[in-house]
Amino acid sequence: MKTVGMTHEQFKTQVCSVCRHENALEAEFCLKCRRPLSLKTLIKMEEKKKEPLRLITSDVTEQMVQKKVEEILAKHNSNAQAQAKKEKEVTS
Ligand SMILES: [Zn+2]
């Protein structure tokens, strides 16, 4: 039986670009220097790093800002109400 499209079962390796260590093809990191072997892995790592930051900037800050705005508005409204009450007392 012939195996189509495959040259004989060679050792398939990917050589680390940093230390030249030969790693298994499916390996994501170099066994020797622990660096990511492919750009894909590197990008994946970078995206993981960014994730917590993205969470902070979108949801958390928005909530914080909203809370602060509500606080300021409430303060402003109560001031305005007090002012209006005073004016009413004076005119009536
Ligand atoms: Zn390496």
Q: How do residues 47-85 score in pLDDT, each as one tens digit?
A: 888 777 666 677 777 888 899 999 999 999 988 888 888
C-alpha 26 to ligand 1 mean position (Å): 14
Q: Tell me, in angstroms, the distance from the centre of ligand 1 to residue 34's CA.
A: 6
Q: Round to the nearest angstrom and report the end-to-end CA distance of the chain.
A: 106
Q: What does the chain come to in residues?
A: 92
pLDDT score for 54: 67
SS3 label, residue 36: strand
Residue 4: the pLDDT is 53
Q: Model pTM?
A: 0.41
Ion ligand 1 — residues with CB < 5 Å:
16, 18-19, 21, 30, 32-33
Q: In this predicted model, what pLDDT tens digit does every residue of 3-32 receive, in sequence order?
A: 555 555 566 899 998 999 999 988 999 999
Distance (angstroms) between ligand 1 centre and the Cα of 61 equals: 40
d(CA 69, CA 63): 10
Q: Are 30 and 19 in contact (CB under 8 A)?
A: yes
Position 1 confidence tier, pLDDT thresholds 50, 70, 90: low
Q: Give the pair of three-digit tokens for residue 64.
A: 């914080």
